Structure 1
Amino acid sequence: MSQLTPTEAWKILQEGNDRFVAGESQHPKQGIEDRERLTSGQHPHVVLFGCSDSRLSAEIIFDQGLGDMFVVRTAGQVLDSAVIGSLEFAAAVLDVPLIAVLGHDSCGAVKATLNALDNLEIPGGYIRDVVEKVSPSILAGRSEGLTRVDEFEARHVLETGQQLMERSRIIADRVEDGRLAIIGLTYELGEGRAQVRGVLGQLDGVETVDVAHG
């Protein structure tokens, strides 16, 4: 496959989600020949960095097949060095043109962070680390007047994309020269729709849903 632009990669993802929402998924590239073809290498057209929630099965909700998506997931889609390294590998080595940051409604990590900030109920173990990494998004949202959980979920997606730009020179350089774009999405569990919340880089014809009006 020839190299896709960020806009072309997003169109593929968007069309797949439209099929999923309509109940018309094609379940592409899942056959024996597809498996055999991929033994020679991978050429995904999108990186999906999303929450680990079991209801966010990336290839299903975007109706993609084997080899289409490079998927990295953590609770609350929080960044650490291993995650950033994985995303840099996809961008710099695999030359993927689009990173999609995917959050969702009813996010346990966001709710746990709100509970920790409001009620001082700090979770134990490494769950605390997740809460600490989500906290800046919540605090930023509150400084902007956000109050609803869904607003904070969307705000966290935007903050994650911005942090990725600030922490990774490899990714930021590719976004700045047009080879890569980052799109922030929130997924509605009931409807199955992925809504665009923000874009970093050049994506043509993309309409976003405002964080405070989601």
Structure 2
Amino acid sequence: MNENNKLGNLSRRHLIKYGGGFLGTGLAATVLGSNLNHPESVVAQNIVAQNKEVTPDVALQKLMEGNARFVEQKHQRPNQDLARLTEVAESQAPYAAILGCADSRVPSEIVFDQGVGDLFVCRVAGNVASSEEIGSLEFGTMILGAKLIMVLGHARCGAVQATIQGGRFPGQIASIIDDIKVGVERAQREPGTNKLELAIKANVKYQVEQLNQSAIIGDLVDKGQLKVVGAYYDLSTGEVTLLTGKLLDYLVVEITTNRQLIIKKQISDR
């Protein structure tokens, strides 16, 4: 895992410095708390302050509530207007991060009914936790302040299917297949007839393990400032199901036609 954790030994100060280099001085200045002489900066600082109040469990609740709205076609489409663009122009403070597949059928902001600046999304075939993805998520959590990382696998994943079928792969495709093999091998030892679905879910759990081995991510988890979970997206229904983690109960809030709130409790698999 040492090769996959290039940022593991960097201090917060060094990561901010490098982050400023590749994300631009405007973001670096905001991250460092500089007072910018623009009205938008005040709004941006308010967003950061609001997200500091979000706990990992609240972040998970917000995601699952959004997915419930998506499944029931009760979209709110929050934070998608021009006012939101102004709010986040100076800075970003996403409350959650998603490590998802590059599959065109799994757009995170739509699946979770979120808007601009809400999610820090890393997408790669097979939702693998490569060194680049881990580094990005380290930045998204330690510097930008995301309180939750969700590894999101999905039904009929082509990358996992290709790994099961085996064979030789051209170019850099083989490197992705190598990162999925562990999950596929684990799934072969599990009971069940749908080997593809088992492999997809086993791959999600393995990638969660890889993220937790990051020194930066692991430290945030130990301090209670971050939660890392795995989930599975059903392409046919749009529903996201949690796969990993010893989680607290979370509330799924649905708004009925008469505007009354129906509160449902759901507990994840242990």
Corresponding residue for 1:128?
174
Q: Output the CA distance in 2 between the equivalents of 1:114 and 1:141.
A: 10
Secondary structure, counterpart of 1:143 in structure 2: coil
Secondary structure, counterpart of 1:52 in structure 2: coil
* Deviation of 1:205 (Å): 1.1
Paired residue type of 2:78: P
Counterpart of 1:175 (choices 215, 221, 225) is 221
Corresponding residue for 1:199?
245
Corresponding residue for 2:127?
77
Secondary structure, counterpart of 2:205 in structure 1: helix
Q: Output the CA distance in 1 between the equivalents of 2:88 and 2:123.
A: 22
Q: Output the CA distance in 1 between the equivalents of 2:68 and 2:175.
A: 35
Q: Output the CA distance in 1 between the equivalents of 2:85 and 2:129.
A: 31
Partners of 1:21 and 1:191 within 8 A in 2: yes
Q: Output the CA distance in 1 between the equivalents of 2:159 and 2:242.
A: 20
Q: Output the CA distance in 1 between the equivalents of 2:62 and 2:78.
A: 12
Question: For the structure 1 residues 209 and 41, does the alpha-carbon distance in structure 2 shift closer, same or farther, using more than 3 Å as the test?
Answer: same
* Deviation of 1:177 (Å): 1.6
Paired residue type of 1:162: E
Secondary structure, counterpart of 2:249 in structure 1: coil
* Deviation of 1:146 (Å): 5.6
Return the TM-score normalized by structure 1. 0.90
* Deviation of 1:183 (Å): 1.2
Q: Output the CA distance in 2 between the equivalents of 1:72 and 1:59.
A: 12
Q: Which runs of 5 or more structure 1 residues have no equivalent in the other structure?
A: none
User: What does 1:146-157 align with in structure 2 at a 5 Å threshold?
Assistant: 148-157=195-204
Task: Identify which range, 98-107 or 77-86, moves more after superposition.
Answer: 77-86
Corresponding residue for 1:88?
138
Q: Output the CA distance in 1 between the equivalents of 2:122 and 2:147.
A: 16
Question: For the structure 1 residues 2 and 111, does the alpha-carbon distance in structure 2 shift closer, same or farther, using more than 3 Å as the test?
Answer: closer
Between Structure 1 and Structure 2, whose CA radius of gyration is higher?
Answer: 2
User: What does 1:1-214 align with in structure 2 at a 5 Å threshold?
Assistant: 1-3=50-52, 4-116=54-166, 121-145=167-191, 148-166=195-213, 168-199=214-245, 203-205=247-249, 207-209=267-269
CA-to-partner distance for each residue in 1:62-113, whole Å, 9 max, x for gaps? 0000000000010001122211110000111012110010000000011000
Q: Which runs of 5 or more structure 2 residues have no equivalent in the other structure?
A: 1-49, 251-266
Secondary structure, counterpart of 2:243 in structure 1: strand
Question: For the structure 1 residues 79 and 2, does the alpha-carbon distance in structure 2 shift closer, same or farther, using more than 3 Å as the test?
Answer: closer
Return the TM-score normalized by structure 2. 0.72
Corresponding residue for 2:46?
none
* Deviation of 1:143 (Å): 3.3
Q: Output the CA distance in 2 between the equivalents of 1:22 and 1:67.
A: 24
Q: Output the CA distance in 2 between the equivalents of 1:84 and 1:75.
A: 14
Corresponding residue for 2:41?
none
Q: Output the CA distance in 1 between the equivalents of 2:228 and 2:144.
A: 16
CA-to-partner distance for each residue in 1:1-50, whole Å, 9 max, x for gaps? 14211100011101100000001111111111110111121111100110
Paired residue type of 2:136: S
Secondary structure, counterpart of 1:40 in structure 2: coil
Partners of 2:51 and 2:95 within 8 A in 1: no
Paired residue type of 2:153: G
Corresponding residue for 2:254?
none
